[in-house]
Amino acid sequence: MRFLLDDEQREFARSLDKMLSAADPAATIRAWAAGDTGPGRALWARLAEAGVFALAVPDEHEGTGFLPVELAVSFRELGRHATPGPLVETVAAAALLGRLGGPLAADHLPGIASGKTAASLCLASPTSPYALDADAADAVFVVDGDTLRLAESTGPVQPSSDPARRLARPVGGAVLRQGEEMAAAAAHAAEVAALCTAAQALGVGRTLLAQTVAYVGGRTQFGVAIGSFQAVKHRLADALIALEFAEPLVHAAALALASGDAEGPASGPAVAAAKVAACEAAYTAGRSALQLHGALGYTEELDLSLWIRKARALRTAWGTPAECRARVLAG
Amino acid sequence: MDLDFTAAEDAFRTEARAWLAAHVPATPLPSLETADGFAAHREWERALHADRWSVVSWPEEFGGRGASILQWLIFEEEYYAAGAPGRVSQNGINLLAPTLFEHGTDEQRARVLPSMASGEVIWAQAWSEPESGSDLASLRSTAQRVDGGWLLNGQKTWSSRAAFADRAFGLFRSDREGLEAGKPHRGLTYLMFPLDADGVTVRPIGRLDGKPAFAELFLDEVFVPDADVIGEPGQGWKVAMSTAGNERGLTLRSPGRFTAAADRLTELWRAEGDPGDTALRDRVADAVIGARAYRLFTYANASRIAEEGGGPAGPSGKGGGGRRAGSIGAESSLNKVFWSDLDIALHETALDLLGPYGELSDEANDAPAHGSWAEGYTFSLAGPIYAGTNEIQRDIIAERLLGLPKGRR
């Protein structure tokens, strides 16, 4: 057993971190929130170049084959920089199409791998009626029960509490596939989405914690740094504990997805455990960030508010806490 | 990255499981915090030792199997899954032994370890004093130099297992200079002493449920030979801190204890739980997730330690990041807070699930699961207090891992 990322995976994370840091994350997020997807799509192309989307695409469609550990590594960095866009949905759509195969996969997957296609995916029932960033996506896939459609259009954007998440209801569209095989592929895609959301939450939480530690180390009241007070320290210690213990659950979920196939060992409980633990940890970090920044933390002009609000949104995206906990016990 | 065991590790697991299945008492032993229970648990230690299962991670010459850290974790998983008795010798095995491996002499190891492994000598810890708890370095009990050894005077308290144990280990002030210079960590000496020696008075203290789980120790001119000093006189703080690292770190509460309890809680939920009570269901799920997270976190730590060399009992060199190779340093504080909070949550949830039976004492005939939930709950309540309170641990996490400035405690 070697339950650690290898050097190559760590180097991959470092290179993504470097690229994303250089891309002025806050400006990119604010532009995306305002409907200007230009900087976000430019970054998207560079993520594709780095191979992020190919990680969910089979070899025969110009991908690397499904690599969930590398996906988790990537999404942690994407979360760390709160990168906007339907990242999780594109990867989940790739997982769905990869399972289905055939001309449908051939039509869309090379574009996803190369970054040409940003896709959104909506599991209309029971997950959510909304597709993330459908207005910015090149293809919006909608699963309803055992039916897969390519949406014709989308309804008006319904603003999310995370301004960088633009939600809309897909409308109409031709049926692409129907049946049991489709339902199984959609269930797999939902697990991939939950894993990537969990990893993203870890990154979001890491930034919330790091920025708040920096703030309370510098902010002085009563003549001392507020970070020297136990009430402040203990809150941040708890945030670190939650993140540290969620991370191995995310890695284990990725391994479970890597070893599972349609008939293989069920990865559902492992993914659900990772999802709820990581999102709760990020949310805890977000609440502490808000509280410990004082009134500043309650403003939208604070860049960190983009992370605070994302932590809230991710909590219920791709599996609510209650759904995840029920899944863990269902075994 | 993988979570795979080797064929040899699987074989080790199979061997441990078979032995435990054949030897674990069908009915749980009486609580080890009672005189009868203590004796029964000592017998159990003998049985473990006879087949070399009492200290698997120790070298063979001291009764162990030279098990790797991963094998040790496997053994612990099997041990608790089998419902085997609590370890009455844990103070010695988890706290004193690692200190002897690191700081003791060959003579001390040869003299102390075999009888510890067999349960013939059960050890108590003697850290705290009435005025020195979290601020342990302020301790006042003294060790005074005399011909051939030391004279101990003073008072120790919260000495776990001391009501029935044979010997104890702890810190004593051998030089007042450090204290007077405002450097209380200096001038402390780490000593071992018999609890039946002349001048030692043991006053058992009832824990929350009345069982004498710990004791006060009164020391009046107790003679200890030089051979029972561990490390250099005056260097006791450093020696003890390596022990504290072990206590909070990998070796005190292995994940097996919690994964086994979480499995039992899941069974209890499936058998007794009201499916409509989603609030309770969520707590059961969180306990299961917590136990799993602790196991995986430990596997990650074990992988890192294995890569750096060293094991729970082995010799250790210098590692990176301010911690010794083969240890987990300040990160052990993450572990300690996590498992102690998890342990309480697990048992609270079980007691709530048991409804009217949840309030029964572990001694009640009607107590579910032979009182193991009630006993486990009482035991768990001490977790956030001993081995450095969780408040102190959170300070350590904030200061050493997050880099926040020191402040008043």
pLDDT tens digits, A274-301: 999 999 999 999 999 999 999 999 999 9
| pLDDT-wise least confident of A263-272, B333-342, B397-406 | A263-272
The dihedral built from the CA positions of residue B126, B130, B135 and B140, taken in this order, carries a sign that is negative
Evaluate if residue A67 carries a pLDDT over 90. yes
Window 308-337 of B: residues touching A by CB (8 A cutoff) are 334, 337
Quote the pLDDT of residue B330: 83
What digits encode the pLDDT tens for the residues A154-188? Answer: 999 999 999 999 999 999 899 999 999 999 999 99
Per-residue pLDDT, B321: 35
> What are the residue boundaries of the structural domains of chain A, listed by start?
187-330
Looking at residue B327, its pLDDT comes to 55
Decide if B243 is inside a domain: no
The distance of B299 to chain A (nearest Cα, Å) reads 6
Q: How far apart, in whole angstroms, are the C-alpha atoms of residue B162 and residue A131?
A: 64
Q: Give B294's contacts in chain A (Cβ within 8 Å).
A: 245
Task: Calculate how close chain B gets to A93, using CA atoms only, in Å.
Answer: 25
Contact status of A238 with chain B (Cβ, < 8 Å): yes
Cβ A244–B297 below 8 Å, yes or no?
yes
pLDDT, average across residues B250-255:
79
Instruction: Quote the tokens at residue B91.
Output: 């103070």
Task: Calculate the CA dihedral of residues A189, A194, A200, A203 and round it to 10 degrees.
Answer: -140
Give me the pLDDT at residue B322, please.
36
Which chain A residues are closer than 8 Å to B297 by Cβ?
A: 244-245, 248
Q: For residues B195 and B256, state if they share a domain.
A: no
Instruction: Report residue B314's pLDDT band, with 50, 70 and 90 as the boundaries.
Output: very low
Three state DSSP letters for B344-400: HHHHHHHHHHCHHHHHCCCCCCCCHHHHHHHHHHHHHHCCCCCCCCHHHHHHHHHHH
Lowest mean pLDDT segment, chosen from A45-49, B327-331, B361-365: B327-331
Q: Report pLDDT digits (tens) over A198-224.
A: 999 999 999 999 999 999 999 999 999
Of the two residues B35 and B253, the one the predictor is more confident about is: B35
Please identify, in words, the CATH class of the domain defined by A187-330. mainly alpha
Do the beta carbons of residue B106 and residue B113 sit within 8 Å? Answer: no
Total domain count for chain B?
3
Structural domain that includes position B254: 249-401
Q: Does the annotation mark B247 as catalytic?
A: yes
Segment holding B168, helix H or strand E: strand B167-173
B396 and B295 inside one domain = yes
CB contact under 8 Å between B1 and A5, yes or no, is: yes
Residue B328 lies in a domain: yes
- Residue A209: closest CA among chain B residues belongs to which residue? B402
Q: Where is average pLDDT lowest: A86-100, A123-137, B259-273, B377-391?
A: A123-137
Final residue of a structural domain among B206, B234, B262: B234
Q: Which residues of A touch B288 (CB under 8 A)?
A: 273, 328-329
Both B291 and B214 in one domain: the answer is no
User: Which pLDDT value is given to residue B305?
Assistant: 84
For chains A and B, count residue pairs whose Cβ atoms are closer than 8 Å: 149
What's the whole-model pTM score?
0.95
**Residue B312 confidence (pLDDT):** 44
CATH of the domain at B277: 1.20.140.10
Cβ distance of A217 and B403 shorter than 8 Å: yes
The residues in A 125-144 lying below 8 A from B, measured between CB atoms, are none
Q: Rounded CA gap, B373 and B396, in Å?
A: 31
Q: Choose the catalytic residue: B216, B247, B331, B375.
A: B247
Q: What kind and span of H or E run contains A55?
A: none
- Please indicate, yes or no, whether residues B278 and B226 belong to a single structural domain of this protein: no
Among A238, A246, A329, the residue with its CB nearest the CB of B281 is: A329
Does the interface predicted TM-score (ipTM) exceed 0.90?
Answer: yes
Q: Are residues B216 and B167 in the same domain?
A: yes
The answer to whether position B293 is within a domain reads yes
Specify the pLDDT at position B179.
Answer: 86
B138 in the same domain as B92: no
**Which CATH number characterizes residue B103's domain?**
1.10.540.10
Amino acid at the residue B266: T
Q: Please indicate if any CB of chain A lies within 8 Å of the CB of B405.
A: yes
A222 touches chain B (CB under 8 A): no
pLDDT computed for residue A266 by the predictor: 83
Does residue B394 share a domain with residue B283?
yes
pLDDT digits (tens, 9 = 90+) for B38-60: 999 999 999 999 999 999 999 99
Q: Which helix (DSSP H) or strand (DSSP E) does residue B132 occupy?
A: none
B contact residues 65-124, partner A, Cβ 8 Å cutoff: 70
Residues B143 and B109 in one domain: no
Q: What is the mean pLDDT of residues B177-198?
A: 94
Q: What is the mean pLDDT of residues B161-184?
A: 94
- Amino acid A126: pLDDT: 74
Cβ contact B297–A248 (<8 Å): yes
Query: B182 with B137, same domain?
Result: yes
CB contact under 8 A, B3 and A252: yes
Query: Is B107 domain-assigned?
Result: yes
Beta bridge partners of A148: A143, A177
> Same structural domain for residues B114 and B128?
no
Which residues from A are below 8 Å from B304, CB to CB? 4
**3-class DSSP assignment, residue B288:** helix
Residues 374 through 393 of chain B touching chain A, CB cutoff 8 Å:
391, 393
Of B92, B118, B144, the residue at which a domain comes to its end is B118
Q: Report yes or no: B230 and B215 within 8 Å, Cβ to Cβ.
A: no
> Residue range A36-41: average pLDDT?
97
Q: B133 with B270, same domain? A: no
**A230 vs B contacts (CB less than 8 Å):** 391, 394-395, 407, 409
Whether the CB of A244 is below 8 Å from some CB of chain B: the reply is yes
**A137 pLDDT above the threshold of 80:** yes
Q: Is B409 within the bounds of a domain?
A: no
Rounded Cα distance between A120 and A137, Å, is: 6
pLDDT given at position B323:
41
B272 and B397 fall within a common domain: yes
Flag whether pLDDT at B18 surpasses 90. yes
Nearest in space to A96 (alpha carbons), one of A57, A137, A153: A57
